[in-house]
Amino acid sequence: MSSPLVIAAITVVLIALSAFFVAVEFALIAARKHRIEDAAASSRSARAALRSAGELPLLLAGSQLGITVCTLALGAITKPAVHHWLTPLFSSWGAPGWVADVAGFVLALLIVTFLHLVVGEMAPKSWAIAHPERSAIMLALPMRAFLAVTRPLLVTLNRAANWCLRRVGVTPVDELAAGQDPVTLRHLVEHSATVGTLDEKYSTNLMSALELQALTVGDLVSGQKPSGVPTDADAMAIQSASRAAGHLRLLVQRDGAVEGVVHVRDSVAAPPGVTAADLMRPAVVLARRTPVYEALRTMRETRGHLTVVTDDDGVPLGLVTLTDVLDRLMPTDAPSS
């Protein structure tokens, strides 16, 4: 049996290595990738951390391998040594041989488990979660060196793990996702508003913005049948239709199909003989199931502020303007349409 100093030195090294692998594992999971990217321009360690984030399954496999090896080594070296030291101590107190042996075994197991869990796992985990970017950058280079040495073994282990996942219908993830999905962000906004850390006005606007993922243009249509004029309507007919409907914009239709959109102001100074077909502007026609964010992109690309919303059969349901979207996003501040 080696001397106590050698065993103590080996134990310290094994626990330190276990703490290192635990910190690496939790640091890159908790770290925000964009914060590491900010430091990557001037830091080699930050660039190494970014490479590790791009190989997350490999890094996790390396961390688990390191933790497992350290745990087995503690069980093979430290625990038997402590057991060997404690058993004679209990025997000297008058305990029977089997009692001394069992007591030494149990106490050695408790001591090694306590040191490994508290010092080798829980403490580094808490530190890494409290300082994720700092710890990820600090530990990146030595972890990259470990990955370089063990890569062939880790690739084999990772492929075996992915094979097992696919057998149970789970798709392996190769890279840590950046940011949060809209559902998570909605929960975060709701929680912040509930506990009072986010003003109600801002929480309402944020929730409305997050709804754009599921909101469609059909949800913004008022339900009132859109007003229109035929393509051959003159200026007086356009103005009369506008007064009757109370709308400034009218659909220009031919045989029930939308040809364009005319604004009543364009008819005010129109010369005699001009028809709605001459004054109309191209209409952007969207199905009612079109997401609002796609409608906004279409408005930007076409430089238009309105779209014609149709049902599944192509029948016009109404108009959706940029103001309608702003009213939905900022109901207290948006100007009335």
CATH number of the structural domain spanning residue 262: 3.10.580.10
Percent of the chain at pLDDT > 90 equals 2
Mean pLDDT within 294-306:
76
Which residues are 257's β-sheet partners?
254
Task: Please determine, for residue 327, whether its predicted confidence score (pLDDT) is greater than 80.
Answer: no
Total domain count for the chain? 3
Task: Please determine, for residue 69, whether its predicted confidence score (pLDDT) is greater than 80.
Answer: yes
Kindly state the tokens that stand for 335. Answer: 């100007």
Q: Is residue 334 part of a domain?
A: no
Quickly count: other Cβ atoms within 10 Å of residue 269's Cβ.
Answer: 8
Residues 56 and 146 in one domain: yes
The 10s digit of each residue's pLDDT in 179-233 is 455 556 666 666 666 666 566 666 666 666 666 666 787 777 765 666 778 888 8
Residues 29 and 101 in one domain: yes
Mean pLDDT within 58-64:
86
Residue among 152, 154, 171 nearest 66 (CA): 154
Residues 18 and 129 in one domain: yes
The structure's pTM equals 0.51
Task: Please determine, for residue 333, whether its predicted confidence score (pLDDT) is greater than 70.
Answer: no
Q: Is residue 173 part of a domain?
A: no
Q: Is residue 337 part of a domain?
A: no
Q: What is the span of the domain harbouring residue 238?
A: 217-329
Task: Please determine, for residue 1, whether its predicted confidence score (pLDDT) is greater than 70.
Answer: no
Single-letter amino acid, residue 163 = W
Task: Please determine, for residue 90, whether its predicted confidence score (pLDDT) is greater than 60.
Answer: yes
Helix residue ranges, H only, 93-224: 97-114, 123-130, 132-167, 182-195, 200-210, 217-220
Mean pLDDT within 242-265:
77
Query: What's the Cα-to-Cα distance from 284 to each of 163, 219, 247, 302, rounded to whole Å?
Result: 48, 17, 18, 8
Helix residue ranges, H only, the chain: 4-30, 33-40, 44-53, 56-73, 79-92, 97-114, 123-130, 132-167, 182-195, 200-210, 217-220, 235-245, 265-268, 276-279, 292-302, 322-329
The 10s digit of each residue's pLDDT in 110-167 is 888 888 888 888 888 888 888 888 888 888 889 889 988 988 888 888 888 888 888 8
Q: Is residue 177 part of a domain?
A: no
Single-letter amino acid, residue 238 = I
Q: Is residue 46 part of a domain?
A: yes
Residues 252 and 293 in one domain: yes
Q: Is residue 269 part of a domain?
A: yes
Kindly state the tokens that stand for 23. Answer: 């910190």
